[in-house]
Amino acid sequence: MLVAHRTDGSPASPAAPYAPELADRIACLSASLPAGRPRLSDHLGAPENATAREQSLNPGDPQALDAVRIDPLRPDSAYAEELRQTQYHDTPADRFDRRRSALSPGLPPAVPAAAPVTLTAARWGRMRRAFLRCAQDRALPGAVQDLMTAEAGRAVPGQPLTVRTLPGSHSPIAARPRELAGALVR
């Protein structure tokens, strides 16, 4: 199983079907899911994403930068607290301090926010797919998660996308690792 989190859904979703010997299923954990709209920026700019707190963490306009960026190691305590409230609001502060250094500062260079990603029913549709929705996600609000999963369901009719909702923030990896592991096993 390939697990994609955050923006990793954009490169992982089309790539996974090309290596079925490595992964025969994919789980997107509150991750970008380009099945209905070919560009990550299409979802970031959608009205459903209007309440995303992550907008305040970007050093510039993602559309203009053609990238989504954050600065996880910025020494500014107000910025660090906004990052915690956005990504890890239900994680104890000491765990956040250890985790924030592992946050990616942005998308991989090969996957800018405006680059189109194509998922096909012939390849992506053959994989077992799941979307793990984070109910109190402040970085990727529930409304845009619901939009992506609905579009993914329409993109490959007859090949269901399993959707499970987990309680808590964008980062159950830190806040609820056992619960997350259980959901992945199921």
CATH of the domain at 152: 3.40.50.1820
Q: Choose the weakest-confidence range: 48-52, 106-110, 144-148.
A: 106-110
Q: What is the pLDDT of residue 133?
A: 96
Q: Give residue-wise pLDDT tens across range 42-88.
A: 888 899 999 988 767 777 666 666 666 788 888 889 988 998 999 89
In terms of residue numbers, what domain contains 117? 2-185
Instruction: Compute the distance between CA of residue 5 and CA of residue 132 in angstroms, rounded to an integer.
Output: 9
Band of residue 113 on the pLDDT scale cut at 50, 70, 90: low
What predicted TM-score, i.e. pTM, was given to this entire model? 0.86
Asked if 126 and 149 touch (Cβ cutoff 8 Å), the reply is no
Token digits for 26? 């994919």
Residues 6+ apart with CB under 8 A from 27: 1, 2, 3, 4, 129, 130, 131, 132, 184
Q: Pick the residue with more confidence: 98 or 47?
A: 47
Q: Which residues pair with 26 in a beta bridge?
A: 2, 129
Query: Is residue 108's pLDDT more than 60?
Result: no
**Mean pLDDT over residues 88-100, rounded?**
85
pLDDT at 146 over 90: yes
CA distances to 32, 60, 144, 148, 185 from 48, rounded to whole Å, are: 14, 20, 5, 10, 30
Specify the number of domains making up the chain.
1
| DSSP assignments along 92-147, one per residue | -HHHHHHHGGGS-SB--TTS-TTS-----TTTGGGSEEEEEEETT-SSS-HHHHHH
